[in-house]
Amino acid sequence: MDIYSEIKKLKGVGPKLEEKLNRCGIFTMLDLLLYFPRDYEFVDGNPNIDDISEELKQIINCKVVSFERDIRTKNGKRLTSIALRYENTKVIAKWFNQPYIKNNFKIGESYNLMGKYKKVGNYLEIVNPTIVFRDASDNEILPVYPLKGDITGGVISKLVNSILCNIVIGENLPEYLLLKYNLVSLDEAIRNIHFPSTKEKLNGAITRLKFQELFTYSVKLLMLKNHLKQGSNGIKFSMCPELTDLKKSLPYELTNAQAKVVREILLDQKSSSPMNRLVQGDVGSGKTVVAFISMFNVYKNGYQVAMMAPTEILASQHFYEAKKLLGKFDIDIELLTGSTTNKEKIRIKEKISSGIPIVVIGTHAIIQEDVNFTNLGLVVTDEQHRFGVEQRSKLINKGKEPDVLVMTATPIPRTLALYLYSDLDVSIIDELPPGRKKIETLFFQSESKYQAYNLALDEISKGRQVYVVCPLIEEDEDGKLNSVDEVYNDLSDGVLKEHKIEKLHGKMAPKDKEDIVNRFKEGHIKALISTTVIEVGVNVPNASVMIIENCERFGLSQLHQLRGRVGRGQYQSYCILVGNAKNNITKKRMMIMTESNDGFYIAEQDLKLRGSGEMFGLRQSGDSGLILADIIEDMKILRCASEEAKIILQSSDVNNVKLITEISKNLSRSSKYICFN
Ligand code: ADP
Ligand code: MG
């Protein structure tokens, strides 16, 4: 069996199932093996009666005593009950609308029933238990897979199992590392990550795989760093004379911090090794204009520039801003995103491949395979902690050595930066443009959210504009969270009925989104009811109120980003967090938000509370390739892995060289950090 082959080659995978698996990102058998559980359920087998808990799933071996007669419940469901016995205790198992379930049982026989048991008087009750065909005397550890669409964990388990039954996975770490760090073999690790028989085995598997991810990550990072270090093959740009005119023409003077960072960038541009610079600056510190100035210089040197933003909204905002600020200097600027028409795309791509100087602003689409920059001088990624090793390698593998500028509002603690961005130089914009008023942050329990709406109404009456952010687009089943739809309906019939308000969310067509953002910018729309699509970068200085519904659902850094959408002009602005702060952690988090406006402090707190994977979007984006490892939590493993990576990169042992070649082949592939022999 070849694990690189397509998933449809696996027995039992027809076109329908294939599609479902594809939706989970599973295309090959290897993808499936690397589709790790996101969690595990620890199921106790045959517990003592005293240890029965409603909170936990448990498996109990029960003997059937009698079948009860089916009855109809008040709401019309058909209830089937079976009476059983566990030791000396009576157990009643109940199923709804599954009358055929009785066929699976025989009086006098014993079955392992899994589910949550409840003590009712002197007997146990269980609703909708499943029968498991394993020994209930052991404790079970069941994988919980991250699922998308209507595939079940059971199906995944079965398929994984069918692969594992047919292969032995070759080892790919040198034996001395396994011995030194007491790591289990890759084969054992993969088996136990899916089907751990004990907690110890599970931990062994996790440690081994984390080591592997972090080791591969370190090797890649070091290779990239070495590559960049030796390079004097960067482009030497000169300072173009128009720079002074550009600075003069800006509607404001640069802050000292901005000016300092611009100088640092221009120095990099003059040098013959490629620039790799990270610009950190809190939301609203004015990173965009810094990027524009450096782009301007590269363009005027006769090169091409690509600027990437994480969303289309942000890309088009940068596009218009760039036109406004740079347009008068005769610069060719194009916008290239997913929603650019095909005809336009062809026109722009032709221009790009012709090699003429051009500034292309867009989403990640612009470094895709079929966009052929022939004269690329600078790549800028905005609000982008996700432009990691992988993407940079991709460019280098294309044989390009452009300057790279990464802009981020997420302050990265030093320890972390060392590993995430060890190949980058860092500039910090540690000053906000003058005249900004401190954003006032308030917290309201949901019951009193109309106070927040009234404040919004007041501000609109003064001519300002408002954002309301909700965690969901549509109402969900259990109704616990507020959705854009609900809040929109509520406000447009209620507090804000005299004013033009609109919805904005990711499911809308890009054209509609852009249209709404533009009308909001122009001031025609007074309130935007939105999801977090507006989280990054949207810049409307007239907006003075940010209301965040179900604020307990967001991470602190995300709240800080959202808050950064207001307070961008001369007006006093407000951020109102609405939610349920019933428990202490939530209370503490909200207090951090109401008391601090300092992005660094908040990021640190967030990191403590959530771990780096969540915070930097590493997990979600998959770009880091780290599935199990967390750079903060697993700092210890990372240190070892990083040390070993250094050693192995210098080694001339044949096997080590082979391993490194293997990893480097994958350098440009956004693959997970596990390569198989
Ligand atoms: P961020 O760093 O969050 O990306 P932006 O670049 O979007 O911030 O800038 C925020 C706002 O500040 C914009 O409206 C921009 O025009 C304005 N701005 C930037 N630099 C200055 C400055 N030196 N003086 C006054 N306003 C500025
Ligand atoms: Mg920005």
CB 396 within 8 A of CB 367: no
Q: Mean of the pLDDT values across residues 465-472?
A: 94
Nearest atom in ligand 1 to 429's CA: 2
Band (pLDDT 50/70/90 cuts) for residue 31 is: confident
Nearest atom in ligand 1 to 254's CA: 23
pLDDT at 337 over 60: yes
Query: How far is 204 from 491, CA to CA, in rounded Å?
Result: 53
Identify the pLDDT of residue 630.
73
Identify the pLDDT of residue 627.
75
The amino acid present at 275, given as its one-letter code, is M
How far apart are the CA of 518 and the centre of ligand 2, in A? Answer: 17
CB 642 within 8 A of CB 213: no
Identify the pLDDT of residue 137.
62
Residue of higher predicted confidence among 667 and 503: 503
- Rounded to 10 degrees, what is the CA torsion of 239, 241, 244, 247? -70
For 372-383, the pLDDT digits (tens) are 888 889 989 886
Bridge partner residues of 277 (DSSP): 405, 425
Q: Is 510 in the pocket of ligand 1 (CB under 6 A)?
A: no
Q: Mean of the pLDDT values across residues 42-55?
A: 83
Show me where the domains of the chain are located: 47-140, 197-436+634-677, 440-596
pLDDT at 619 over 50: no
Q: Is 568 in the pocket of ligand 1 (CB under 6 A)?
A: yes
Q: Percentage of the chain with pLDDT > 70?
A: 87
How far apart are the CA of 358 and the centre of ligand 1, in A? Answer: 24
CB 568 within 8 A of CB 284: yes
Is 197-436+634-677 CATH 3.30.465.10? Answer: no
pLDDT at 135 over 70: no
pLDDT at 56 over 50: yes
Identify the pLDDT of residue 34.
87
Band (pLDDT 50/70/90 cuts) for residue 329 is: very high
For 644-677, the pLDDT digits (tens) are 988 988 887 777 777 777 666 544 333 333 333 2
Band (pLDDT 50/70/90 cuts) for residue 414 is: low
DSSP 654: H
pLDDT at 136 over 70: no
Nearest listed ligand to the Cα of residue 289: 1
CB 554 within 8 A of CB 548: yes
Identify the pLDDT of residue 213.
87
Q: Which two tokens stand for residue 454?
A: 């009234």
Query: How far is 466 from 543, CA to CA, in rounded Å?
Result: 6
Classify residue 435 as left (phi > 0), alpha (psi -120 to 50) or beta: left
Atom 25 of ligand 1, residue of closest alpha carbon: 433
Are 197-436+634-677 and 440-596 equal in CATH topology? yes
Write phi, then psi, for 333 (nearest 5 degrees): -120, 130
Q: Is 291 in the pocket of ligand 1 (CB under 6 A)?
A: no
Residue of higher predicted confidence among 181 and 613: 181
Residue of higher predicted confidence among 583 and 547: 547
Residue of higher predicted confidence among 343 and 312: 343
CB 154 within 8 A of CB 131: no
Residue of higher predicted confidence among 600 and 328: 328
Identify the pLDDT of residue 194.
93
Nearest listed ligand to the Cα of residue 311: 2
For 242-271, the pLDDT digits (tens) are 999 999 999 999 999 999 999 999 999 998
Q: The dihedral of CA 677, 191, 642, 181: what is its sign?
A: negative
Identify the pLDDT of residue 146.
85
Q: Is 222 in the pocket of ligand 1 (CB under 6 A)?
A: no
Residue of higher predicted confidence among 306 and 234: 306
User: Per mean pLDDT, which range of 139-148, 500-509, 576-585, 618-627 is the poorest?
Assistant: 618-627
Test site for ligand 1: of 285, 383, 544, most ligand atoms within 8 A of the Cβ: 285
For 273-322, the pLDDT digits (tens) are 888 888 988 888 899 999 999 999 999 999 999 998 878 888 888 999 99
Q: Is 408 in the pocket of ligand 1 (CB under 6 A)?
A: no
pLDDT at 393 over 70: no
Q: Which CATH class is domain 440-596?
A: alpha beta
| 248 Cβ neighbours under 8 A, 6+ residues apart | none
Atom 4 of ligand 1, residue of closest alpha carbon: 287
Band (pLDDT 50/70/90 cuts) for residue 232 is: low
DSSP 605: H
Identify the pLDDT of residue 223.
78
Band (pLDDT 50/70/90 cuts) for residue 469 is: very high
Residue of higher predicted confidence among 399 and 275: 275
pLDDT at 629 over 90: no
How far apart are the CA of 411 and the centre of ligand 1, in A? Answer: 17
Atom 15 of ligand 1, residue of closest alpha carbon: 286
Q: Mean of the pLDDT values across residues 423-449?
A: 87
User: Per mean pLDDT, which range of 1-5, 119-123, 354-358 is the poorest?
Assistant: 1-5
Nearest listed ligand to the Cα of residue 286: 1
CATH topology for 47-140 is OB fold (Dihydrolipoamide Acetyltransferase, E2P) (2.40.50)
Identify the pLDDT of residue 395.
61
Query: How far is 217 from 672, CA to CA, in rounded Å?
Result: 10
Band (pLDDT 50/70/90 cuts) for residue 490 is: very high
Query: How far is 492 from 528, CA to CA, in rounded Å?
Result: 11
Q: Mean of the pLDDT values across residues 218-244?
A: 80
Identify the pLDDT of residue 371.
83
For 87-113, the pLDDT digits (tens) are 899 999 999 998 898 998 999 999 989
Identify the pLDDT of residue 95.
93
Band (pLDDT 50/70/90 cuts) for residue 620 is: very low
Kind of pairing between the strands at 276-281 and 130-131: unpaired
Band (pLDDT 50/70/90 cuts) for residue 392 is: low
Among candidate residues 294, 306, 231, the one with its CA nearest the CA of residue 262: 294
Identify the pLDDT of residue 610.
64
Q: Is 433 in the pocket of ligand 1 (CB under 6 A)?
A: yes
Residue of higher predicted confidence among 55 and 333: 333
**How many Å separate Cα 630 from the centre of its chain?**
13
Distances (CA, A) of 504 to 95, 308, 516, 525: 43, 22, 7, 12
Identify the pLDDT of residue 230.
66
For 199-217, the pLDDT digits (tens) are 899 999 999 999 998 888 8
Angle value at C-alpha 200, between 135 and 179, nearest 5 degrees: 135
How far apart are the CA of 121 and the centre of ligand 2, in A? Answer: 62
Q: Is 191 in the pocket of ligand 1 (CB under 6 A)?
A: no
Nearest atom in ligand 1 to 321's CA: 16
